[in-house]
Chains A and B, each alone.
Chain A
Amino acid sequence: MSRLARRNVIGRAMFALTGLSMFVTVSSLFFILGYLIWHGFRSINFAFFTQLPKPPGELGGGMANAIAGSAELILIATLIGAPVGFFAGVYLSEFGGRKFSFVVRYVTDLLNGVPSIVVGIFAYSLVVVPLGHFSIFAGGFALSVIFIPIAVRTTEQFLQGVPQSFREAALALGAPKWKAIATVVVPAAFGALATGMLLALARVAGETAPLLFTSFSNQFWNLSPNEPAASLPVMIFTYAISPYKDWHRQAWAAGLVLLALVLFINISARLLLPRRAPR
């Protein structure tokens, strides 16, 4: 074989390897989806959405309380995280000076990198210890700490995407800066901003570690923010590592519901967003 032919063969082989690694990665997503749908659909039933958990050993029951608990946790996280993330994002995009913005950006990335279990410890010592008990509020607060940095960075990126001429036009018409931002810049990016918030929501919806010792878990109905409550991710965890067959079945059902929610938000966000927008 000539030298050039050998070089070409090596090149083809290496590119084939990159294709193979792509195939392995993509097929792992389809494996996850397929396996979860296969087990989830065999496990899910009407009672899953309407009934409370049964004690170990008894068959049946559902996770109605965990679904409600998750919804409330996500709501609290969004109520805290979205305004903080939005205004801080507006600061970075519209007001910030060079140096201080760099600091804020850096710290935001740092906060984004804090391990979720450490966020749990933080919320535990800041909220649970002073109150003296686990509560939905503590869990929602923990989730908001994860929500905030994502919301800040998406808000900043989408506002930066609004053309500079929009701002100049508003200012030239005599609007003060705040009015230009509130009536021109933010509305221009509104859809993207809302999608960014939804993506942050999808991210915290699946978080488990920060909830283990903040919102804890609960066998019964609870909607009071001052009490502990069950949530879907924590139920998946406790049911999956339990020794009971029927609990495993319900963990699959809960996993299917959670993954469907997260993927639905992510896919629709992608379809709604304009092309080449930052994630």
Chain B
Amino acid sequence: MADCGKFAGTRAARPLAKVRSSLSGDRIAYLVTLLFAVSIIILTVLVLYKLVSASELSRAKFGWSFAFTQTWNPVTGQFGALPFVYGTVVTSVVALVIAGPLGLGCAIFLSELAPLRLSSALTFVVELLAAVPSVIYGLLALFALVPLLRDPVEPWLKDWFGFLPCFQGPAYGVGYLAAGLVLAIMVVPFITSVSRESLLAVPREQHEAALALGATRWEATWNVVLPYARSGIAGSVFLALARALAETMAVTMVIGNDPKISASLFAPGYTIAAVIANEFTEAITNLHVSALIELGLVLFVITVIMNGLGQLLMLATSRTGSIHT
């Protein structure tokens, strides 16, 4: 019986040991994955910390006037961000004015009109557009879009809409308009795919109820489906805006790189991201580097706010609350 008892003891002991070791295995797996998850938070905080600490020189010297002065002169050590903020905002607004309706149109076509197979094929094409690297957009814009703007498009706009201050002055080709157009093409895929998803999330009954009440197909789409999805659509616009504000390469290649504020869209300008790309490696004085990093900080804060707003609006529509870009 003693033998049996011993046996029983080992039988009892072995699963127990196994349970203990597997518990610690789970514990280890949990801690390892947690460590990596936490490292992402640390990384993000570190980005912000580096931007704040490395721009200290410029922040101490210029204070808030940094955002409101126009002179950008590395030789005399005067740095004001206004022309860059202006250029960034103007190019992004041009982009959204064009890409907003275009992207929404595509989204409506894909979700309401196109048959399923065509819709999924076209959605794939739109996704491919989003995958094209920005330097390729810049390359094409520089050699295809800019000459086109310089010769027929901008003079034509001047002839017909020259009374508007934004269509006056010499046609350079490079400038706000060129940058805005490239940005528009680049953000259309984002507006399209996010808006399409929120349109598809609208319950079918809403659409059918409108039709049953005698609305035409378009009226049902425009008056019922679209308002239902409006926060998702607005969210897509904010996400696109964040993209446009942050875009560097394509804009740098066609903006003209002139730190001036001009009312005309034909005039060359500058954006925050473009000036960092162009001047960072050539900056000699610490103050210049610091001012460029402060511009980076400004850009970071603006895009975080836009992304945050976009995601909050998306959260309002989608229950999963996750956005894949």
Contacts and interface: CB of A to CB of B under 8 A. Distances in A.
Interface of A: 7-8, 10-12, 14-15, 17-22, 24-26, 28-29, 32, 35-36, 39, 83-84, 87-88, 90-92, 94-96, 100, 103-122, 124-126, 145, 148-149, 152-154, 157, 176-179, 181-182, 202-203, 205-209, 212-213, 216, 233, 236-237, 240-241, 248, 251-252, 255, 258-259, 262-263, 266-267, 270, 278-279
A106 B321 CA distance: 10
A109 B311 contact: yes
B135 to A, nearest CB: 4
Nearest to B298: A118
Interface string B245-256: 111110011000
A109 B323 contact: yes
Given A11-B218, A18-B109, A117-B296, A178 B131 contact: no
Contacts of A148: 40, 43
Contact of A88 (B25, B39, B122, B321): B39
A237 B138 contact: yes
Contacts of B143: 39, 240, 248
Which 6 pairs, one residue from A and one from B, show the smallest C-beta to C-beta distance? A206-B133, A11-B218, A21-B105, A115-B246, A176-B22, A91-B33
Nearest to B54: A125
A132 to B, nearest CB: 15
- Chain B: interface size category: 35 or more
B188 interface: yes
B277 A117 contact: yes
Contacts of B132: 29, 32, 206, 259, 262-263
B203 to A, nearest CB: 19
Nearest to A86: B36
A114 B48 CA distance: 10
Contacts of A100: 37
Contacts of B137: 32
B40 A152 contact: yes
B113 A15 contact: yes
A25 B192 contact: yes
Contact of A266 (B127, B296, B325): B127
B36 A87 contact: yes
B29 A103 contact: no
Given A21-B105, A109-B307, A11 B133 contact: no
A251 B218 contact: no
Nearest to A180: B26
B268 to A, nearest CB: 14
Nearest to A248: B143
Interface in B139-197: 139-140, 142-144, 185, 188-189, 192
Contacts of B281: 212-213, 216
Given A109-B311, A178-B26, A26 B125 contact: yes
Contact of A108 (B40, B219, B276): B40
B322 interface: yes
A263 B25 contact: no
Contacts of A205: 133
A7 B215 CA distance: 9
A255 B307 contact: no
A270 B124 contact: yes
B44 A115 contact: no
A10 B35 CA distance: 58
Contacts of A241: 142, 253
A160 to B, nearest CB: 9
Given A22-B105, A116-B246, A152-B40, A279 B47 contact: no
